[in-house]
Structure 1
Amino acid sequence: MKIRIKGNSIRFRLTQTEVKNLTEKGAIEEYTCFESNSFKYAIEVSSYHKQMNAIFSEGEIRLHIPKNKIEGWYTNAIVGFEHIQKLSSGNTLSLLLEKDFTCLDNTIEDQSDNYPNPKIHN
């Protein structure tokens, strides 16, 4: 799982295995370890939430995705989901959850579990 954070925007990108695990098991998570602490990011399928929702607490970002939106995601052609979350401060938080495609340019990153890029023509 990759995350990209810029300002009030968070983008989660998932490999094929991660999408399968999320749809079958209901949650996935990863950690980035530092010297004295770790940063956790997780996605959880929710029957409670009607829209995507993110919280940050105790060094963890947790994204909730409604169960009805994600059912069948592993096998269908839907690329991803987006939502603008309104915050109590009056600000907004842009959320994007999407399948991770192989890059069109050369990269040293392992892309063996990424989705085939639809822009590559055979």
Structure 2
Amino acid sequence: MKIRIKGNSVRYRLTRAEVEVFCNTGYVEEETVFPSGVFRYILRAEEGVAEPTADFTRGTITVTLPASAREGWLEDTRVGYSNSADWNDPGALSILVEKDFACLDNTVEDQSDNFPNPNAEC
């Protein structure tokens, strides 16, 4: 799982295997170890949640999706989930969780588990 943070926006990108784990268990976690501590980022599903939410506690960002997000996301064409925050409002936290597609340019990063890019030509 990759995370991108810019200003007041948080974006998670998940590989095929990570989406599969999320759909099966409702939970995916990643961590980065620093000399002074561990930074964690978590994606979880929860009943009673209407849209993506996020919180930051004790060095951990937790993004929560509705439990229904687990149903069929791996197989369907839905790219991801976002909250209804105003992306132009610098005070609103914008959340985006999406499938990680293979890049169309030449990159050295291993993309073997990424979703096929819908913009790739056959």
**Normalization by structure 2: what TM-score?**
0.92
Distance 1:121 1:32 in 2: 35
Tell me the equivalent position of 1:60. Answer: 60
Deviation digits for residues 11-69 of structure 1 (CA, Å, limit 9, x no counterpart): 10000000000010110001000002010000001113111100000000000000123
Asked whether the 8 Å contact 2:101–2:116 carries over to 1, the reply is: yes
- Would you say the 8 A contact 1:3–1:10 is kept in 2? yes
Alignment length (residue pairs): 119
1:41 aligns to what? 41
5+ residue gaps, structure 2: none
Return the alpha-carbon distance in structure 1 between the equivalents of residues 21 and 117 of structure 2: 21
CA positional deviation for 1:70: 3.3
Letter in 2 for 1:59: G
1:87-106 matched pairs, under 5 angstroms? 91-106=91-106
Task: Give 1:85 shift.
Answer: 4.8
Task: Return closer, same or farther for 1:60/1:85 CA change in 2, 3 Å cut-off.
Answer: farther
Root-mean-square deviation (CA, aligned residues, Å) is 1.5
Contact 1:55 1:62 (C-alpha < 8 Å) held by counterparts? yes
Do the aligned residues in 2 keep the contact of 1:53 with 1:85 (CA within 8 Å)? Answer: no
Task: Tell me which residue corresponds to 1:15.
Answer: 15
Partner of 2:31: 31
